[in-house]
Each structure stands twice: as structure tokens, then as C-alpha cells.
Chain A
Amino acid sequence: MRSLYLWVPLALFAFFAGLAGYMLTQEKDQFVESTMIGQPLPAFALEPAFAGLPGASTGDFTGGRPRLLNIWASWCLPCIAEAPQLEALKAQGAEIIGIAIRDRPEDVANFLGRHGNPYARIGSDPISEVQLAIGSSGVPETFVIDARGVIRYQHIGDIRESDVPKLLAELEKAK
């Protein structure tokens, strides 16, 4: 045919459409991992976030068992949604150490009074110093720290009910 080349754009487009269509049906990895995964927890020692519980430091993540490190704040709305799941995790034997970001002692106490207190310890991080060092970019975020203080897993955003088994499995893996 004289004008066969006129079909070239259509052929190229058909190839692209086929490829894009195929890729749309593929599962996509949605999580952006912190570069800190596999690294030891950076050294820190935080003052207690309120009078009721001790503060948190790197030294708390030893002793032969993995723990959860939960980054949260009383002013954070998804943290309220997350509270029942933390309770559930605690009930199933997880030890949770909290870091309260840019918070005030009375607000922390108030939040825990209202939504329950799943934490073993809570450190206060008034300028997000430790949060940024861990590679967390927002609240809430939850890390699985193994018995030797190495960061094993990062969960970004609030923990939904469906995430609880996954976190328990990660804790088990980190043993």
C-alpha cells in the first residue's frame, strides 16, 4: 500500500495501549520504605511525655524481645482511629513504646484518658528530632524493632483492623 506509513502512529499507540492495559491489571507495591529499615535504631533518650509513664530511649529496645515503636500525637486525628488497634496489639502481647511528637503533657494525659493507654513507655519529642532521625515523615507511624534494636518494618499511617495480624507476624519474624 502506498500510504502504509500513515498507519505507524496507530500501531505505536496500539502497542502502548496494550502495554498500559496489561500493567493496570498488575498488583502494585504501594509502600515507600524508610531507608532506615535494616539499620539500628538511632541513639536517643527522651524525657517522659507525661508524668504517668517513663520516657523512652534506645536502651529500652533490648532484652531478647521485639517491640513496636509507635510515633503519634494527641493532636493527630488518625491516631484516635488507631487507638483501638494498639489496644488489640497490646492484648496479644505486643509491647508498645510511644513517642509523642510536639505534644504537651496535659494533652497526652487527656488523650490516653479518653482513648486508652496501650503504651509501656512514652517519650516526648518536642521538635521531631527523633522522628526525623528514624526516617518517619508523619504521624502516626509504627516501627517493628527487633531484640537487638534494629528497625525491621515500617507501617505508615494509622493501623487499621486488617493491619493487626501483619504487625503481629512482623513481631514474630523479628524474634
Chain B
Amino acid sequence: MIAEIGLAALWLAAALAVLQMVSGAFALRSAEGEANSLAIYARPAAVVQAFLAVLAFLLLLYAFAITDLSIKLVASNSHSMKPLLYKLTGTWGNHEGSMLLWVGVLALSGGLLAAFEKRLPERTMGATLAIQGFVALGFYAFLLLSSNPFERLPVPAAEGTGLNPLLQDIGLAIHPPTLYAGYVGLSVAFSLAMGALLTREVNPAFARVMRPWVLGAWVLLTLGITAGSYWAYYELGWGGWWFWDPVENASLMPWLAATALMHSVSVLAARDALRTWTIMLGVLAFSMSMLGTFLVRSGVLTSVHAFAVDPERGAFILGLLGLYIGGAFTIFALRAGAVAEGKRFAAMSREGALVFNNVMLSAILAIVLLGTLYPLLTEAFDVRVSVGPPYFNPASAIFAIPMLLVMAVGPLLRWKSDKPARLQFELALIAALVIGTIALVSFFGQFPLLPLLGLGLAAALAVAALLPLRGRNVMRMPLSTWGMVIAHFGVAVSLFGMACEGAFSQERLAAVAPGGTEQVGDFAVTLESVTPFAGPNWTAIEARLAVSRDGGETVILNPQARSFWSPPQATSESALLTRWDGQLYAVIGNQAEDGRWQIRVWWKPFVTFIWYGGLLIGLGGILAIAGRVQVDVRRRKATAMGDQRRADIDALGAATPLPAE
């Protein structure tokens, strides 16, 4: 019954999406303030739809928890002997389940918007909900017509075939749902942007409604990417933290667009500038989310994350992309000219710096997009190429370096217009830090250019990020300013980790006989033994490595080479030794003919700072959201007090005019 209820819930949700779309469109047609008999259904439809979609997802989760092998999806992606946690994560560790999760989050965000957002004009709200319903409807159609997660097997399977062993990891429990929530949170920004464009209500009030959604989605994307990067780093056993794989790029591109959008929407909310630009980025950010889904799901690109290589599904998603992205860009082209540009500002101003950085972010986005799609383009002419770090690193650095420099200065600038003379000290300090750090590090040896620049910029940015605190009462500073300071400082921390990893990593690949010792950096690594090892649904060979730093205390590391049998696959389980100043990363490889074992060990100084920085950036975003909530609550209280006063005055019959708000 579970599967049938789940399927019915999905069909009902799809029907409600139609209702939401139609009634939202009616709200758009009616004049402001005029009641429309159909328009009143948009909000309840969105709320009930959210409930049904989440219910369907929970039912699938339950089917995975009890390993209901009469459901095709469970039988082909799970196994009764799997640990419960991985049974649950298996729900979204496959195509159908992850699409259901996607739709669930989409419907949930639409429902939340409908239930709690009261500030928007009803017409804009109607248009927004209509768009949100339209987007959801496409994905319901995709699930119901081509990827039904609740499909039954004619005969229940005797046993499931398991879950991709790479996905049997706690990283999978956290990483995709976080990322998805971020992707889909951007759908609300998209719908709001389209709604505002349709009703020509692009103004600060609209930006204030959009901002928490953008911030929330951006925080989730940041944390999702950070978790994903660390997961790939320790799980894939290749010692790297970013590979510019199409799937990684699929998460980076919406993040870049969302970062630009977040800054631009703040400018619109605070200064009523950048109207068209904000709308464009709103459309672009969610387009990048959908494009990412298409690239990952259609198999048009070859990736290490080959999930569901299915051209038919690819064609379906491509159709949806054409409908949504094509439609949005068409409306944009027709309408954006009618949106007034908003307030003007000088190039040398806070707005100017933000615009510059948004352009740089967009340029990096274009670089990544081009690199990701380039193999697709050449393959059309039968040339197979793969684009990797040699292209992405320098090409994105060209835009990232000026962006980071302006990012250091931007928060110190005044709104509207400023003079360089006012910031002489700060500019000199930033320049001195960049040049000084590079000179200092170069003194100790030859290092590659990009990491060296990265170190200089990290030092300058770390100091510059804290400069807005100077001369201010830090206890009274708004939370959102704290958020900015911490997020910018987090960028410096991440950059420092990346630069150190790039410049100072040491690697040792050696064939070692048991008892043999290798030296990596300050560490002596001794291979004590290699033994077979049995896990719940895998077997492994496990090495015992005794590690000692500068002859100090000995620590044991146990890297494994695992073999899963259902489905059969070998994975490498790296062993990590974390110290405050870096990580020792060990992997066991094959055995050579003479009986020696291949051991690969890296010493990566300050590599953990990459992810600490990511967490700080996320924390900054959370503080910014908290700051907005705090301001809203205060404003509401003030309004309530004002209302009370107004009521009192009315009661007293006094004619005292209230001060304008």
C-alpha cells in the first residue's frame, strides 16, 4: 500500500500544481485590491502540495527503511544487510529518489512562501506562485511519466542489489540533501524574479522578500559544497579536494550566481539600485541549478559520478530546461527594458565595488560553464577532449584575483560615492600585506605563482575583512554586519588553505615491504603489517601504518582497500591524521610482484583550513539571516507599538500627527 499511497500523493500534488498555476495567473490578471474568485486558491494549493510531496518522499524513505523489495527502486538500490543509515541515505542515492527529494524540497519552499510571505503585493505573489507551480509541475511530470520512484516489480525480488559503495558514507547522508535544498531554494528566487518582472514590481520591498531565500539557499549551497569537497577528498582516495569534474561544477555554478545575486539583492533592498541585474541573476542562479541537474542526470557529459545515463530522461529534462530557462530569458528580453534602472551611483562607491565583483563572479561562472560544456561542443565534431585544472585554475584566477582585491576594499567604501584619499591607510595596508607575504614566502624557496598570489591575497583579505570592526562598538554592531565580516574572513581562511595545499604539499609514493619506513615531510611512516579485514557488507585489506613526527609519539593509521560484493566494486578508504597545521593522508594500493605494498602518503599543510573557511562562510550567511530576522522582529514590534499608540490616540480623539516612519 505504501507505494500506491506515495504515487497517489504525487499525482494529487501535480494536480494541485496545476490549480496553483491557474489561480496564480488569475491573481495576476485582476487589478490590485480586487478580489478574484479563483485567485484565493493559489496559497492553499501551494501549502497542500508541499504536504503531499513531502509525504511521498517520507513514504519512499519508509520503504527503504524496511527494504520493501517489491518496489523496483528499493530492490535495485538497497540490500537487506545494509546498515540502517545507508538504507535511508539510499533513498536519495539514486536517480528517482533524488528527483523526488528535489520535487519535495521545491514544493516545500513553495508552500513556505505561500504560508508565511505576506509583504508582497497580491498580484506579484500570485504571479510568483503561478511560476512556482509551473516549475513544480514539470518536475512532477518528469517523475510520474519517466522516473516513477514507486514502480512495483511484477514479482518481489529475493534480495536487493545494493548501493554504490562510494555512496555508502556519512558524506552522502549530508551532502546531497543540503545541496538540493540550496538548489531548490533558488527556485523561489527564480519565481519571485519572474513574478516581479511580470508585474513590474522590481523594488526594494520585493528585494527584502527575496533576500532571505537567496541567503538561505546560498548558505545551504556553501555548506553542501564544503561537505562535498571534504567527502570527495577523504572518500575517493586521490588526495585532492577539487577536480573541476562536471558534477562539481554543476554545484559551483549556481553558487557563483547565488553569491552575485545575494550581493545584488542586498544593494537593491538597501539602495534601490541594480534592478535588472538582480532579476537577471535570479533567473541565472536557478537556471544553473537546473542545468546542473541536466548535466548530471542525462549522461551527456562523462563524469566520475555517472549516475543515470539515460538519453530519454536527458531529453525530458532538456525539454523542461527549454521551457523554463528559455521562457524566462524570453520574458526577460521582452520586459527587462521596462524595468527602470533604479538609483545611480559613482563607480567609486560600495555599489560600484559590488557591481565590479558581481561582474567578476559572472565571468568566473562563464569560464566554468564554458569549460564544462566545451567537451560537449568538441564531441559534436568527434574530437574528445577533457578540460581540467590546467584550464580552470589560471582562467578563473584571472578574474578571482581582482575580485578578491576589490572584496578587501569594498566593505570599507561608502554608499553612493567615495574618494580614494579617504582610504589611503587601508589601501596601503592591503598592498603591503600582499607584497610583504609574497616576498616573505619567496625568501624560503621557489613556489608556484598562483598559490603564492593566493597566500598574499589571503593575508590581505584576512586583515581587511576585520577592518570594518575598527572604531565601532562591536557589541552594538548589527548581526548582518558580523555575518559579512565572518564570511569574508572565511574566504581568506579557505584561500589560505588552498594556497598552502598547492604550494607546500609533499607526496611520497613508494613500494614498501612490511617493516619498511618512508619519510614524508617531518613524518616517518612505517608499514607494520597488511591484514584482511571484514566489514558488514565488504571485505578489505587493511594496512597498519605507524606514524611518528620528528621521532615523537607514534600514531597508528589504518588505510583500507575495500571490496564490496553487492554490487561488486573496490573503494579506497584513506586514513587521515589531523594536526592543527595540516593533515597526513595515507592510501594503500596494490601489492607488487615481489610482495611489497604500494603506499601513498601526502603531508598537506593547513589543508583543513579550506573547509574551516567554508564553514565560516556558511556561518556568516546564517548570521546575516539572523540579523534580518532580528531587524524584522524589531520593526514588527515597533509597528505594533505604533499601532497601539495610534489606537490610544484614536481612543483619546487626539489629533496629534504621528511622525512619518
Contact surface of A with B, Cβ cutoff 8 Å: 2-3, 6-7, 9-10, 13-14, 16-17, 19-26, 28, 30, 42-43, 73, 75-78, 101-102, 126-129, 132-133, 137-140
Contact surface of B with A, Cβ cutoff 8 Å: 159, 161, 280, 283-284, 287, 294, 298-300, 309, 311, 314-315, 318, 321-322, 325-326, 329-330, 332-333, 336-337, 373, 376-377, 379-380, 532, 539, 541, 561, 563, 565-570, 590-591, 593
Distance in Å: Cβ of A85 to nearest Cβ of chain B: 17
Asked if residues B333 and A137 are in contact (CB atoms below 8 Å), the reply is: no
Asked if residues A132 and B300 are in contact (CB atoms below 8 Å), the reply is: no
Show 26 residue pairs from A and B whose CB-CB distance is below 8 angstroms, ordered by the A residue: A2-B337, A3-B336, A9-B284, A9-B332, A10-B330, A13-B326, A20-B318, A20-B376, A21-B318, A22-B380, A23-B379, A24-B318, A25-B311, A28-B299, A28-B311, A75-B565, A76-B565, A76-B568, A101-B563, A102-B539, A126-B532, A127-B532, A127-B541, A132-B591, A137-B568, A139-B565
Q: Which residues of B contact A42 (CB under 8 A)?
A: 593
Q: Which residues of B contact A17 (CB under 8 A)?
A: 318, 321-322, 326
Asked if residues A137 and B570 are in contact (CB atoms below 8 Å), the reply is: yes
Q: Which residues of A contact B299 (CB under 8 A)?
A: 28
Asked if residues A6 and B566 are in contact (CB atoms below 8 Å), the reply is: no
Knowing A13-B326, A28-B309, A132-B570, the reply to whether A102 touches B563 (Cβ < 8 A) is yes
Asked if residues B294 and A14 are in contact (CB atoms below 8 Å), the reply is: no
Q: A17-B318, A28-B299 are in contact. List 6 more A-B contacts (CB 8 A).
A: A3-B336, A7-B333, A24-B300, A76-B568, A138-B570, A139-B565
Q: Which 6 residue pairs are nearest across A and B when measured between Cβ atoms?
A: A138-B568, A10-B329, A3-B337, A6-B333, A7-B333, A139-B568
Q: Which residues of B contact A24 (CB under 8 A)?
A: 298, 300, 311, 314-315, 318
Asked if residues A138 and B329 are in contact (CB atoms below 8 Å), the reply is: no
Distance in Å: Cβ of A12 to nearest Cβ of chain B: 9
Which residue in chain A gives the minimum CB-CB distance to B327?
Answer: A10
CA distance A42 to B336 in the complex (A): 66
Q: Which residues of B contact A10 (CB under 8 A)?
A: 326, 329-330, 332-333
Asked if residues B309 and A20 are in contact (CB atoms below 8 Å), the reply is: no
Point out the residue from A23, A77, A126 that lies within 8 Å of B300, measured CB to CB. Answer: A23
Knowing A13-B326, A13-B329, A127-B541, the reply to whether A20 touches B294 (Cβ < 8 A) is yes
Asked if residues A19 and B330 are in contact (CB atoms below 8 Å), the reply is: no
CA distance A10 to B336 in the complex (A): 13
Asked if residues A133 and B590 are in contact (CB atoms below 8 Å), the reply is: yes
CA distance A2 to B334 in the complex (A): 12
Q: Which residues of A contact B280 (CB under 8 A)?
A: 9
Q: Which residues of B contact A101 (CB under 8 A)?
A: 563
CA distance A42 to B594 in the complex (A): 12
Asked if residues B314 and A73 are in contact (CB atoms below 8 Å), the reply is: no
Asked if residues A14 and B333 are in contact (CB atoms below 8 Å), the reply is: no
Distance in Å: Cβ of A129 to nearest Cβ of chain B: 5
Point out the residue from B330, B380, B570 that lies within 8 Å of A23, measured CB to CB. Answer: B380
Q: Which residues of B contact A3 (CB under 8 A)?
A: 333, 336-337
Which residue in chain B gives the minimum CB-CB distance to A25?
Answer: B311
Most buried by B among A17, A24, A30, A76: A24
Which residue in chain A gives the minimum CB-CB distance to B335?
Answer: A6
Asked if residues A14 and B326 are in contact (CB atoms below 8 Å), the reply is: yes
Point out the residue from B287, B300, B309, B314 that lies within 8 Å of A30, measured CB to CB. Answer: B309
Give the interface SS of chain B, mostly helix, strand, loop or mixed. helix
CA distance A138 to B386 in the complex (A): 26
CA distance A23 to B298 in the complex (A): 10
Q: Which residues of A contact B161 (CB under 8 A)?
A: 77
Asked if residues A77 and B332 are in contact (CB atoms below 8 Å), the reply is: no
Distance in Å: Cβ of A145 to nearest Cβ of chain B: 18
CA distance A40 to B66 in the complex (A): 48
CA distance A6 to B329 in the complex (A): 8
Q: Which residues of B contact A132 (CB under 8 A)?
A: 561, 570, 590-591
Most buried by A among B314, B337, B568: B568
Q: Which residues of B contact A126 (CB under 8 A)?
A: 532
Distance in Å: Cβ of A51 to nearest Cβ of chain B: 23
Q: Which residues of A contact B318 (CB under 8 A)?
A: 17, 20-21, 24
Asked if residues A138 and B567 are in contact (CB atoms below 8 Å), the reply is: yes
Asked if residues B159 and A6 are in contact (CB atoms below 8 Å), the reply is: no
Distance in Å: Cβ of B288 to nearest Cβ of chain A: 11
Q: Which residues of B contact A129 (CB under 8 A)?
A: 590-591
Knowing A10-B326, A23-B376, the reply to whether A73 touches B565 (Cβ < 8 A) is yes
Which residue in chain B gives the minimum CB-CB distance to A158?
Answer: B568
Point out the residue from A6, A20, A28, A76 that lies within 8 Å of B337, measured CB to CB. Answer: A6
Distance in Å: Cβ of B374 to nearest Cβ of chain A: 11
Q: Which residues of B contact A75 (CB under 8 A)?
A: 565
CA distance A14 to B321 in the complex (A): 10
CA distance A16 to B311 in the complex (A): 16
CA distance A129 to B329 in the complex (A): 56
Which residue in chain B gives the minimum CB-CB distance to A140?
Answer: B568
Point out the residue from B159, B569, B593 that lies within 8 Å of A137, measured CB to CB. Answer: B569
Which residue in chain B gives the minimum CB-CB distance to A9?
Answer: B329
Most buried by B among A78, A126, A128: A128
Distance in Å: Cβ of B10 to nearest Cβ of chain A: 26
Distance in Å: Cβ of A39 to nearest Cβ of chain B: 14
CA distance A30 to B566 in the complex (A): 21
Q: Which residues of A contact B314 (CB under 8 A)?
A: 20, 24
CA distance A2 to B333 in the complex (A): 11
Distance in Å: Cβ of B68 to nearest Cβ of chain A: 19
CA distance A155 to B570 in the complex (A): 17
Which residue in chain B gives the minimum CB-CB distance to A7?
Answer: B333
Q: Which residues of A contact B322 (CB under 8 A)?
A: 17
Asked if residues A77 and B159 are in contact (CB atoms below 8 Å), the reply is: yes
Distance in Å: Cβ of A157 to nearest Cβ of chain B: 9
CA distance A3 to B337 in the complex (A): 7
Q: Which residues of B contact A76 (CB under 8 A)?
A: 565, 568
Point out the residue from A13, A43, A73, A78 that lies within 8 Å of B593, measured CB to CB. Answer: A43
Point out the residue from B159, B315, B373, B561 that lies within 8 Å of A16, measured CB to CB. Answer: B373
CA distance A73 to B567 in the complex (A): 13
Which residue in chain B gives the minimum CB-CB distance to A10?
Answer: B329
Distance in Å: Cβ of B291 to nearest Cβ of chain A: 8
Q: Which residues of B contact A138 (CB under 8 A)?
A: 563, 567-570
Q: Which residues of A contact B593 (CB under 8 A)?
A: 42-43
CA distance A153 to B272 in the complex (A): 65
Distance in Å: Cβ of B410 to nearest Cβ of chain A: 26
CA distance A35 to B330 in the complex (A): 48
Asked if residues B570 and A77 are in contact (CB atoms below 8 Å), the reply is: no
CA distance A91 to B322 in the complex (A): 53
Distance in Å: Cβ of A160 to nearest Cβ of chain B: 15
Distance in Å: Cβ of A110 to nearest Cβ of chain B: 17
CA distance A17 to B325 in the complex (A): 10
Which residue in chain A gives the minimum CB-CB distance to B539?
Answer: A102
Which residue in chain A gives the minimum CB-CB distance to B326?
Answer: A13
CA distance A101 to B294 in the complex (A): 38
CA distance A54 to B309 in the complex (A): 41
Which residue in chain B gives the minimum CB-CB distance to A11?
Answer: B329
Asked if residues A77 and B566 are in contact (CB atoms below 8 Å), the reply is: yes
CA distance A24 to B376 in the complex (A): 10
